[in-house]
Homo-oligomer: A and B are copies of this chain.
């Protein structure tokens, strides 16, 4: 089975997720700059989620560059990842409308951790399908970035009940770790 349609469908879903979040930025009634103030926390939440979905698209892109074949399990693991990503607009809206409150910050972190788990499952199934000597296996021999992300997410969720802004800080650090697309894959692809 070719990977073309899996990529096209994922691109479509990710493009919609990243764009419908903007629909929540309802314009104010007035014409003054002050009237924009209520949508400011929503706007910050939007920027944050835009970067996160961008990171996932970027890494998805890198991951599938190295993929040669897909199977039924990979199709479902990909849909599983898209499911958790599709909840990002809802989590973003809750975070934005409540002005970064405690429970919404925790819920946002839980959403992020589920995306990370889904991505890891997808990665593992792809490596298993490609085989032990594949370039993807060589590229992702160390899973340090994956493990450290989980740790920061758990730290973020734990602190969200006390200092939600600190929780966002933890999620922000994970974003920074992944902002640079997967050099491991780029490097290995170039060598082979």
Contact = CB atoms under 8 A, between A and B. Distances in A.
Interface in A85-118: 86-87, 89-90, 93-94, 97-98, 101-104
A11 B79 CA distance: 13
A9 B13 contact: no
Given A7-B5, A104-B31, A16 B25 contact: no
Interface in A1-59: 1-2, 5-9, 11-20, 22-23, 25, 27-28, 30-33, 47, 50, 54, 57-58
How many copies, total?
4
A3 to B, nearest CB: 11
A97 B15 contact: no
Interface size of A as a range: 35 or more
A18 B14 CA distance: 11
A72 interface: yes
A2 B4 CA distance: 13
Nearest to A61: B5
- Determine the main DSSP class of A at the interface with B: helix
A139 to B, nearest CB: 13
A140 to B, nearest CB: 17
Interface of A: 1-2, 5-9, 11-20, 22-23, 25, 27-28, 30-33, 47, 50, 54, 57-58, 61-62, 64-65, 71-72, 75-76, 79, 82-83, 86-87, 89-90, 93-94, 97-98, 101-104, 179-181, 183, 186, 189
7 contacts: A9-B14, A16-B19, A20-B20, A31-B101, A54-B76, A58-B79, A75-B181
